[in-house]
Each structure stands twice: as C-alpha cells, then as structure tokens.
Amino acid sequence: MSSLLRTPAVQELYLRDSWFYRILPSVKHKPFTAVPSGNLTENWNEVEPDPNQLRWLPFTIPKSTEKKVDFVAGLHTVCGAGDAKSRNGIGIHMYTCNTSMVDRCFNNSDGDFLIVPQQGEILITTEFGKMMVEPNEICVIQQGMRFSVDVFGETRGYILEVYGAHFELPDLGPIGANGLANPRDFLCPVAWYEDRKVATGYTVINKYQGKLFACQQDFSPFNVVAWHGNYTPYKYNLKNFMVINCVAFDHADPSIFTVLTAKSTRPGVAIADFVIFPPRWGVADHTFRPPYYHRNCMSEFMGLIHGHYEAKEEGFQPGGASLHSMMTPHGPDAECFEKNSTAELKPERVAEGTMAFMFESSFSMAVTKWGLQTCQRLDKSYYQCWEPLRSHFNPNWKPSKP
C-alpha cells in the first residue's frame, strides 16, 4: 500500500484540479452502454412518503458461500432527494459486499461519495494511489474519480452522496483557527501505478444521471505515474476530531460536531453535513445532558459504527440506521429519559467506546422501496421506545431555597 500525504482538498478553494501523468489517456475505451443499476436509484417516487420515525436493524451482508457480491453490486440506496441532472441533491446508500472488485472500477459522474466503513476495512485503489480505510475512518471520493475496492471478508458501510457541491471543512466562526476536524489530519494517496494490459477486458462502470453504464478497455485505468494538484481523494480518522462541548450548562447546537459540510447556495444552509458523536466529557450542570426532544427543519439520518448510542442504548445497533425526517419529533427513548432525569450531575465520560454519526440535510428526503420494503430490515416497533414516557409535571413544585 502506498504512503499518504496531508491534503488541502478539504479547505475552501476557488480552484480545484489535478494534473495526471499517465501511460495511456482515459479516453481510450469502447462506448458506454447501459447496465442494470440493481438497488442503486435516484427514483424518489417509488413509494408513498412516510413521515414516521424510521429505524433499521443492521443491514444484511450477503454470505460469500451463497453469492459473490462486490462493492458496486452491493450498493443499495436507502433515501435521498434532489436531482443529479440539475446538480442539486443527495443520496444515502449502504454498501454490503463480500468480494473484491476484479478488473473493474467505478466512477461517479453525479457527485461525491463520503464513505463510512462500519464492518471490515476496505482498500481503495484510485487513479491517485491507494488508501486503506478502516472502521472509525472515513474517505471521500470526489466526482469523476475512478476507483476499485478490495475487501477482506463480509463488509458493510454507509455512503453519503452529494450532487453539485464538494465537501469542505465547516466555517469555525468564533472558535477561531483550530478545532473540530483540523486540515493537517486529512490524508491523500501518493502516486501508485500499474502498467497492465487486460486481454479479457477491463470494465469501467460510470454512474451518470442516476443510472449505471459500463465500457470496456484493454488496460488498467490505474496507470497514473505521477500527479499534482488539490482535487484528490482523501481520508480522515475520526479519533483525531477535536471535540468542543458545553462546560457550564445547557446544550450547544450539534453543529459543533460537524466534520465536513457540503454547502448550498444559501448562506448557513447545507446540502448535507457529516456530524459525529465521539467519546467526550459531559459536565453541564442543571441540564438534561442527552439530546433533547425536538423537531427541526433538517432531515437526520443516523448510523452507528460501533458501541451504543447514548440516547438509545437498546435497539439502535451497529450497521443499522435511523431517519428522522423534517419536522418529525424525536429524542431519547423512555429509558434514557428516566435514567438521566435522576442521575447525579457529576463529570462523566459520554459515548466511551462508541462512534455514532449523522448525515444531516436541508432536503426533505424520500425513502426508497428498497429501504422501506425490499431490505426487510425496517424495525416496525421503533415508535414503542417512546410509549412509556410519562408526565412528571407538578403544578405545586417550587425550587428549593439555596
């Protein structure tokens, strides 16, 4: 595997490009033809909208003894909104696979992939070089970059796709120069190449306007001997996130946990944010410390890499997911509420051994037929986690005298 370099690709840049020195140009290929897209889709009208709180059990990984499934064949769209043609929107996908891509690669002409491995490391070969990405790391493959994925067993993860914008670091505002995800911790590949002929044909799969197309060529596309530029794939280890939290009372906005954002044309509004809930100290006084009950103008898709999410320690499992749509109420389950309403407010570690994350979007997302029906992982009892909530209101209560 190649070594990695620090990258400026996550910083706000007015010009993003890279220059390849390659053995043969990528234009040397047979014509593209349409191929089946499987469960990868941009059809947001397959089923009727569902405003309910939704939760999925861990998505099933196919057994290699039953069927060989590589990264592309294992892509499944859960939800999304917008349109790749108009360059405005998002898609959220799961990948579940068990075998490496052989003599085939993938590129996304529609947008960027932010990949979050959950089970199993993945070795990504790109035109820029190689990256090994493990659970608790993320990587971004930007629009148009060709890549192939090697896996080492049953593998699962999440993908956030954005059309029409690139991921970048959030504006830090009064935080200042340092904090959250620091640019120095993002890594990109060093050039690696193979000068390899493929007599039986090398397949290039292209996601274009929401559909898949394939073409044939007789050589490996990973023939870039050297490159320079700032438009690159990159990876980031979530353990390097510098957490900021409340140190007095009340809650800060969850935007303090933003790793990367894809901005919209409206100031302060994101097409999508990638937010994490890492291990940290909880010290707030006179405060209900878990996330509060709320409705908001964003759609929140959550996943769990490992551990137990503090607001729902039961039911929300690694490799599963939840979706709380725009203006749909949500918050801690009844057990979490009762436990934290009576807990002694002393400094404590929160989310130790856990990494939950959120894909948050200003779009009102539609769930696909695969997400609601075909995958058969929808937890239809999810609403019951709030059923035991009871009133604690006492009109005669008065605060104790100091």
Between these two residues, 161 and 313, which has the higher pLDDT value?
A: 161
pLDDT at 3: 59
Count of Cβ atoms closer than 10 Å to residue 60 Cβ: 14
Look at the chain and count its residues.
402
Tokens of 199: 């007599």
Determine the CATH number of domain 29-238. Answer: 2.60.120.10
Residue 300 annotated as binding?
A: yes
**CATH H-level superfamily of 241-378:** Jelly Rolls (2.60.120.10)
Query: Span 77-95, mean pLDDT?
Result: 97
Average pLDDT, the chain: 94
Give dist(CA 164, CA 264) in Å, integer: 9
Tokens of 312: 């729902």
pLDDT at 227: 97
Tokens of 352: 């130790």
Tokens of 52: 């309910």
Write the DSSP assignment of 24-49 as a string of letters: S-TT-SPPPEEE--TB----TTSS--
pLDDT, tens digit, for every residue of 216-227?
A: 999 999 999 999
Q: Do 272 and 262 form a contact (C-beta atoms < 8 A)?
A: yes
* Residue extents of the structural domains in the chain: 29-238, 241-378
pLDDT at 7: 62
pLDDT at 395: 94
Residue 6 scores a pLDDT above 70:
no
Residue 66 annotated as binding?
A: no
Nearest Cα to Cα of residue 165 among 16, 37, 47, 302: 16
Is 228 catalytic? The answer is: no
Residue 313 annotated as binding?
A: no
By DSSP bridging, strand 197-208 and strand 211-219 are: antiparallel
Residue 306 annotated as binding?
A: no
Can you say how many angstroms the Cα of residue 57 is from the centroid of all Cα atoms in its chain? 17
Kindly state the helix (H) or strand (E) to which residue 377 belongs, with its residue range. none
pLDDT at 5: 64
Which positions ≥6 away from 393 have C-beta within 8 Å? none
Type of residue at 264: S
Query: Span 236-252, mean pLDDT?
Result: 94
Kindly state the helix (H) or strand (E) to which residue 341 belongs, with its residue range. helix 334-342
Give dist(CA 227, CA 9) in Å, integer: 14
pTM over 0.85: yes
Which positions ≥6 away from 144 have C-beta within 8 Å? 107, 108, 109
pLDDT, tens digit, for every residue of 262-273?
A: 999 898 899 999
pLDDT, tens digit, for every residue of 373-394?
A: 999 999 999 999 999 999 999 9
Least confident residue range of 70-79, 133-142, 345-354: 345-354
Q: Do 173 and 146 form a contact (C-beta atoms < 8 A)?
A: no
Least confident residue range of 31-35, 133-137, 332-336: 332-336
Out of 29, 251, 306, 308, the active site residue is: 251
Least confident residue range of 14-23, 185-194, 315-324: 14-23
pLDDT, tens digit, for every residue of 285-297?
A: 999 988 889 999 9
Q: Let me know if the fold of 29-238 is the same as that of 241-378.
A: yes
pLDDT at 180: 95
pLDDT, tens digit, for every residue of 113-128?
A: 999 999 999 999 999 9
Hey, which bits of 2-120 come out as E strands? 4-6, 18-22, 33-35, 54-56, 75-83, 88-97, 104-108, 111-119
> What's the pLDDT band for 11 if we cut at 50, 70, 90?
low
Phi, psi of 185 (to 5 degrees): -95, 0
Give dist(CA 313, CA 32) in Å, integer: 48
pLDDT, tens digit, for every residue of 158-210?
A: 999 999 899 999 999 899 888 999 999 999 999 999 999 999 999 999 999 99
% pLDDT > 70, the chain: 96
Residue 8 scores a pLDDT above 80:
no
Tokens of 358: 């959120």
pLDDT at 1: 43
Give dist(CA 208, CA 40) in Å, integer: 12
Which is it for the CA torsion 103, 131, 56, 274, positive or negative? negative
Residue 258 scores a pLDDT above 50:
yes
pLDDT at 253: 87
